[in-house]
Amino acid sequence: MEVPEQNKRRKEDQVNLLEIKNLHVTVAGCEILKGIDLEVNAGEVHSIMGPNGSGKSTLAQVLARRETFQVTAGEIVFGGKDLLAMKAEEAACEGVFMAFQYPVEIPGIGNTYFLRSALNAIRKYRGQEEMDAMDFLPMFRERLKLLEMDEKLMNRSVNEGFSGGEKKRNEILQMAVLEPKLAILDETDSGLDIDALRIVAKGVNAMRSSDRAVLVVTHYQRLLNHIVPDFVHVLVDGRIVRSGGPELALELEEKGYGWIEGEARPTASVPA
Amino acid sequence: MSTNVNTIRNLAERDYKWGFVTEIEDERVPKGLNEEIIRVISAKKSEPEFMLEWRLKAYRHWVSLEKTQAEPRWANVKYSPIDYQDIVYYSAPKQKPALGSLDELDPEILRTYEKLGIPLAEQKMLAGVAVDAVFDSVSVATTFKEKLAELGVIFCSFSEAVQKHPELVQKYLGSVVPYTDNFFATLNAAVFTDGSFVYVPKDVRCPLELSTYFRINAAETGQFERTLIIADEGASVSYLEGCTAPIRDANQLHAAVVELVALDNAQIKYSTVQNWYPGDKQGRGGIYNFVTKRGKCAGMNSKISWTQVETGSAITWKYPSCILQGDNSVGEFYSVALTNNYQQADTGTKMIHIGKNTSSTIVSKGISAGHGQNTYRGMVKILKGARGARNYTQCDSLLIGDKCGAHTFPYIEVKNSTARMEHEASTSKIGEDQLFYLQQRGLKTEDAVSMIVNGFCKQVFRELPMEFAVEAQKLLGVSLEGSVG
């Protein structure tokens, strides 16, 4: 971790939102994350880049508290609370949102109904009053406009019959409605054409604010032209091997991951 | 992974909340079945001669069936042999059931129905549902009778129909399900004690949803009700039945028969929300729900539509069917059957196409959880003369956990080459990915499961009358307690 580099870019008054310390994660006995350290402040956009199989999606899903992953060491503090003690729905209610790489279809459940149920579950958790359809709709329509989505699409079942691009836009729409504190984009750019990419980026950028952080997980620099990150971290073989500013993404694009993987290898023998 | 499984298990193991017993004196005949018992039942109900004769013919036929061990064994369900001599065939609340008004009803029974949320009191007119309530063997109250009578609609207990409209009963009783039909239907014909009767006259659209609520209360009794609905030419009616029973260790037999007759241009919509006591988590106790339901589209352009939500009973054996005799007649079957813990269901439909241009639709949704075994069994038969017949069948199974089973036995028999048949089937599992997706959006596991299941059943729920659809959704949530994995 190049902490001094990070600190240079940070403003004094920013609030620490997420702190990952020495995170080790295994799936089916195989260690995927081998000691991740990462600090994310409110207001920042971080990008996690790395080659296939480096553990990017695992990191995203552990943050979203998917139970298939076993955390063997380390800790994650989110908003001052122990994230690893939370179940997926608690993490969601505390403000963690993940845009899925492969959004799931729920036959028979309308999009609008689903999203309002989710919003109300979160509001209830926070002790807020549930939102009725009359209050929900105007806000919802505004977000639909932001994502340039047809309201008719919302009468369909969740993600059913959606094109790949529509599904990804739907993820960002959900994010815009649920207004999380930490938004994780898990390879949202994969399978998107240029127009859809621009729309998705517009949606994410509209949500950038001083009390929200965004974690963009991606293979390619392409998305980062539209969502410009404050920090870029390169994940190789379960470790963050380099951190820097947006220029790091450009460098990677030019030189490929092989350039950094070479540097990663010597440290791979350090015991966890 | 385990938290999900546990939460779902807890959810599925919520208790049956309709399991209370009402303390009330009852009047019953001794256990066992013989001609004497049948004469007693018939006498208690002051039945005309033709009824007693019909019952006795049925009884004698049943005895011959029992001798030849003709109790159906082909269903995909397992249970120990039933001792038919160990059942009480008639039990009635000890009070004269012929009541002038609801005020005369035993307040304990009224309280029971209140607990169950049945709008028995006429004040609840706004609910727009006319209810006939059958408590053990006897129909105890029928609401809205007078209002319906103004239109010529007859909605009363079967016993009353036998007294007041014997010509209709004699004409139609057994015309769709003859007493020789099958072992359980024959038993029912011999011993049935009450049920509902509906007659909708020519060109009348029944303005209310008609509803019957069945409740088994007394121990060691069987419930054998019989329902007969006739929609005369151009008439239409929507009918709903619901059922509950107390929690008991022993199994109780429920062998009902429902007959529907739709004449020219008539329509009958029959909906069931079945929530008999399903037995405990180890599979002890519960109702054996062995029911014969059949409708005859006797007239041209007639339509019969069955919708069932089956969440209760230890064993369900039930095939609401349509005989499409009139030209252009339409038969529909929409079903949700859920089996949790050790419940078993073998259910489906038969669509018999006889008339020209007849069409049928079958949508079956089976949900299995726990150790539940769920079987769809359906037959579509196109007879020689049924030119231009059409059938669409969709048969979906949803598995929750890895100890349950889903089975499908579709039979198709086509004897006319102009028939068009479609069959679609799917089996899926509530995936960890679906659950995680909903949880990641903030929904609790049980709400997520219930949302997925309700989505799965939507095609069927939308066929139910509005208020019952809501009820069915809630019921499904409760019945699923503790089931995903």
Instruction: Look at residue B123 in the predicted model and tell me its pLDDT.
Output: 38
Residue B11's pLDDT band (cuts 50, 70, 90)? very low
Half-sphere exposure of B99 (CA within 13 A, CB side): 20
pLDDT in tens, B166-212: 999 999 999 999 999 999 999 999 999 888 899 999 999 998 888 77
CB contact under 8 A, B440 and A98: yes
Whether A85 has its CB under 8 Å from any CB of chain B: the answer is no
Residue A214 placed within a domain: yes
CB contact under 8 A, B454 and A108: yes
Nearest to B440 among A88, A114, A115 (CB): A88
Q: What is the pLDDT of chain A when averaged over all its residues?
A: 89
Q: Which of B470, B430, B459, B458 is nearest to B446 (CA)?
A: B430
Place of tokens 């403003």: A11
How far away is chain B from the Cα of A37, in angstroms, using its nearest Cα? 23
> What does pLDDT average to in each consecutive run of 10 residues of chain A (272 residues)?
51 80 94 96 95 93 94 96 96 97 92 94 95 90 91 90 91 96 94 89 93 93 91 94 91 83 51 39
CB contact under 8 A, B1 and A68: yes
Q: How many inter-chain contacts (A to B, CB under 8 Å) are there?
A: 82
| Residue A262: partners with Cβ closer than 8 Å, 6 or more residues away | none
Print the SS3 string covering chain B: CHHHHHHHHHHHCCCCCCCCCCCCCEEECCCCCCHHHHHHHHHHCCCCHHHHHHHHHHHHHHHHHHHCCCCCCCCCCCCCCCCHHHCECCEEECCCCCCCCHHHCCHHHHHHHHHHCCCCCHHHHHHCEEEEEEECCEEEEECCHHHHHHCCCEEEEHHHHHHHCHHHHHHHCCCCCCCCCCHHHHHHHHHCCECEEEEECCCCECCCEEEEEEECCCCCECECEEEEEEECCCCEEEEEEEEECCCCCCEEEECCEEEEEECCCCEEEEEEEECCCCCCCCCCCEEEEEEEEEEEECCCCCEEEEEEEECCCCEEEECCEEEECCCCCEEEEEEEEEECCCCEEEEEEEEEECCCCCEEEEEEEEEECCCCEEEEEEEEEECCCCCCCEEEEEEEEEECCCCCEEEEEEEEEECCCCCEEEEEEEEEECCHHHHHHHHHCCCCHHHHHHHHHHHHCHHHHCCCCHHHHHHHHHHHHHHCCCCCC
Nearest to B437 among A100, A108, A121 (CB): A100
A115: nearest CA partner in chain B:
B441
Q: What single-letter DSSP state applies at residue A29?
A: T
Tell me which amino acid residue B205 is. Answer: R
CB contact under 8 A, A92 and B432: no
Domain positions in chain B: 2-479
Instruction: Look at residue A270 in the predicted model and tell me its pLDDT.
Output: 39
Instruction: Say if CB B388 and CB B356 are below 8 A apart.
Output: yes
Please report, for the domain that includes residue A16, its CATH number. Answer: 3.40.50.300
Instruction: Say if CB B319 and CB B290 are below 8 A apart.
Output: no
Instruction: Say if CB B324 and CB B302 are below 8 A apart.
Output: no
Instruction: Look at residue B429 in the predicted model and tell me its pLDDT.
Output: 83
pLDDT in tens, B130-167: 666 666 555 555 667 777 888 999 988 898 999 999 99
* ipTM here: 0.92
Q: What single-letter DSSP state applies at residue A219?
A: S
CB contact under 8 A, A92 and B459: no
Nearest to A104 among B437, B456, B457 (CB): B437
For chain A positions 183-212, those within 8 Å of chain B (CB to CB) are none
B5: nearest CA partner in chain A:
A67
Residue B63's pLDDT band (cuts 50, 70, 90)? very high
Instruction: Say if CB B41 and CB B193 are below 8 A apart.
Output: yes
How far away is chain A from the Cα of B482, in angstroms, using its nearest Cα? 18
On chain B, the residues whose CB falls within 8 A of the CB of A117 are: 443, 447, 451
Whether A67 has its CB under 8 Å from any CB of chain B: the answer is yes
Whether A122 has its CB under 8 Å from any CB of chain B: the answer is yes
pLDDT in tens, A97-143: 999 999 999 999 999 999 999 999 999 999 999 998 888 999 999 99
The span from the CA of A87 to the CA of A96, in Å, is 11
CB contact under 8 A, A108 and B456: yes
Whether A93 has its CB under 8 Å from any CB of chain B: the answer is yes
Whether A28 has its CB under 8 Å from any CB of chain B: the answer is no
CB contact under 8 A, B441 and A103: no
Residue A186 placed within a domain: yes
Residue A115 placed within a domain: no
| Residue B470: partners with Cβ closer than 8 Å, 6 or more residues away | none
Domain count, chain A: 1
Whether A222 has its CB under 8 Å from any CB of chain B: the answer is no
A interface test, pick of B5, B429, B440 with most A CB neighbours within 10 Å: B440
The span from the CA of A135 to the CA of A116, in Å, is 10
Residue B273's pLDDT band (cuts 50, 70, 90)? confident
Q: What is each CA distance from B313 to A143, A268, B277, B308, B366, in whole angstroms? A: 47, 60, 5, 14, 15
For chain B positions 432-451, those within 8 Å of chain A (CB to CB) are 432-434, 436-445, 447-448, 451
**Cβ–Cβ contacts within 10 Å for residue B124, how many?**
13
For residue B81, give both structure tokens: 């042999």
Q: Which domain holds residue A232?
A: 3-106+164-267
Instruction: Look at residue A259 in the predicted model and tell me its pLDDT.
Output: 81
